[in-house]
Structure 1
Amino acid sequence: MRRLLLLIALVLSACDAPAPTSAPVPLAPVPSGPAMSPASAQAAFSRVSASLRPVAVNECQRRTSGMRCDFRIEVDPNPRAPVNAYQTVDKDGRPVIIFTRAMINSARNPDELAFVMGHEAAHHIRGHLARQQANAAAGAIVFAGLAGLTGGNASAIDAATQVGALVGSRTYSKDYELEADELGTLITYRAGYNPLIGAHFFSRIPDPGDRFLGTHPPNASRIQVVQRTAANLGLVQ
């Protein structure tokens, strides 16, 4: 039982232990000019949504079978929500991409909005949400079973279940992000935006490094995926 608790403690501590960050990767230069005002950013968000949504729908229909592809792109109603964009599904199973106002206002140009939007659409097309939920369920079952085999009581089994779900959900999390960056680059490009400019977003967010069980890969790895995918599309810096 003590060994199990020690394992749980080690796993939880490892989730927060950062590794050295990767070296920065040069990106395409950003077009000169002032950053967008909040009003311009909101207008750009509407234009980008209108341009990118049909591309995302087409990619989804072409690459999947039986998956809902009728994306909704919305703004989080909470005006104080922090910088964030995410993909989810509504109660009817329709895919939804949500941007907070802070996220929209933090974008320097429409290309960044398009890249983030394409990335979130790619998460749905690749089935990452369902795969992550399945991984979490499997991890919970395995850890709960181990706790039971070692004589754990109800409290210990519950704790092991939660840790197992955490470990399971993060097992392939970084791979999913890179997959979404790759497909997101393609969607961004086909929607008429420059993913090499859009990926400058990575240069302004904290680098998570290559943490064990981290949720996101190093920024440099993500930029390299964008550059490689863009080169395959014939887009040069």
Structure 2
Amino acid sequence: MIPPGRTPEAQAMSFVEVARRVEPVAEVECLRMNPGANCDFRIVVDDRPTMPPNAYQTLDSSGRPVLAFTAALIAIVRNGDELAFVMSHEASHHILGHLERMDRNASEGAAAFGRIARETAGATPDQIREAELLGAQVGARSYSKEFELEADRFGTRVAAEAGFDPLHGAEFFLRLPDPGNRLMGTHPSNGERIATVQSAAAELGLGPFRR
């Protein structure tokens, strides 16, 4: 559903403008935090009509950081502040090294669960492999909520330095289904995320959260 006054053309123009302003700030912060790292962000749009609203950070085959946004997500943001906050959040995952840390946690989880399985009498190779896969999943998710909050906090800084209002942008959370506090969930509650943005904004001297 397109927000009132947000035509597809307006959405496209807003996305280009937000990317133009956020990308150089994210690259500067990335190099400041990780001298010598690949901080040449590539921002792309996944325009497949079947893809749900989503944004994520990944690496291409050369190790270049990629920030990807589905067309469905771009369609539901209401303003540049919201889009800038999401973009800054995703960039922060790379700046803070979350993919590498998640991979390391997955490897450690797989090793731990595999060791337990191998020490279990009668365990078959298939059962050991299943234990390793489960351990990798548990390890990868073990700090995912903390990573999201870290990216929210650092993303607040990036968005503000790019000239956007992260407090206004974080109102995007108010329209998302709340993931709650599920044991194996990958995202913290919306309330936690908003509180994190408020705290980060206060440290930056920004105004109160607008409801």
Q: Is the structural similarity TM-score above 0.5? A: yes
Matched residues, number? 205
RMSD of equivalent CA atoms = 1.2
Could you list the per-position Cα deviations for residues 98-132 of structure 1 after superposition, in whole angstroms to 9, with x for gaps in the alignment? 00000101101111100000000000000000100
Q: How does 1:91-170 map to 2 (within 5 A)?
A: 91-151=61-121, 152-170=123-141
Instruction: Return the alpha-carbon distance in structure 1 between the equivalents of residues 205 and 6 of structure 2.
Output: 28
Instruction: Return the alpha-carbon distance in structure 2 between the equivalents of residues 66 and 159 of structure 1.
Output: 38
- The equivalent residue for 1:201 is 172
- 5+ residue gaps, structure 1, are 1-32
Instruction: Return the alpha-carbon distance in structure 2 between the equivalents of residues 178 and 170 of structure 1.
Output: 14
Instruction: Return the alpha-carbon distance in structure 1 between the equivalents of residues 89 and 111 of structure 2.
Output: 31
Q: Which moved more, 1:168-177 or 1:75-84?
A: 75-84
Deviation at 1:77, TM superposition (A): 4.2
Could you list the per-position Cα deviations for residues 161-189 of structure 1 after superposition, in whole angstroms to 9, with x for gaps in the alignment? 11100100011110000000000000000
Q: Residue type of the partner of 2:74?
A: I
- The equivalent residue for 1:38 is 8
- The equivalent residue for 1:80 is 50
Q: Residue type of the partner of 2:53?
A: V
Q: 1:216 aligns with which of 181, 187, 199?
A: 187
Could you list the per-position Cα deviations for residues 48-99 of structure 1 after superposition, in whole angstroms to 9, with x for gaps in the alignment? 0001000000000111123110101110142321100000010000000000
Aligned pair in 2 of structure 1 residues 138, 35: CA closer, same or farther (>3 Å)? farther
The structure showing larger relative contact order (alpha-carbon pairs under 8 Å, at least 6 residues apart) is 1
Instruction: Return the alpha-carbon distance in structure 1 between the equivalents of residues 84 and 111 of structure 2.
Output: 39
Instruction: Find the residue that maps to 1:206 and give its secondary structure.
Output: coil
- 5+ residue gaps, structure 2, are none
- The equivalent residue for 1:230 is 201
Q: Residue type of the partner of 1:153?
A: T
Instruction: Return the alpha-carbon distance in structure 2 between the equivalents of residues 35 and 186 of structure 1.
Output: 28
Deviation at 1:233, TM superposition (A): 1.1
TM-score, normalisation: structure 2: 0.94
Could you list the per-position Cα deviations for residues 1-35 of structure 1 after superposition, in whole angstroms to 9, with x for gaps in the alignment? xxxxxxxxxxxxxxxxxxxxxxxxxxxxxxxx935
- The equivalent residue for 2:41 is 71
Note if contact 1:83-1:100 (Cα within 8 Å) is conserved in structure 2.
Answer: yes
Instruction: Return the alpha-carbon distance in structure 2 between the equivalents of residues 213 and 124 of structure 1.
Output: 23
* Identical-pair percentage: 51
Instruction: Return the alpha-carbon distance in structure 1 between the equivalents of residues 19 and 32 of structure 2.
Output: 20
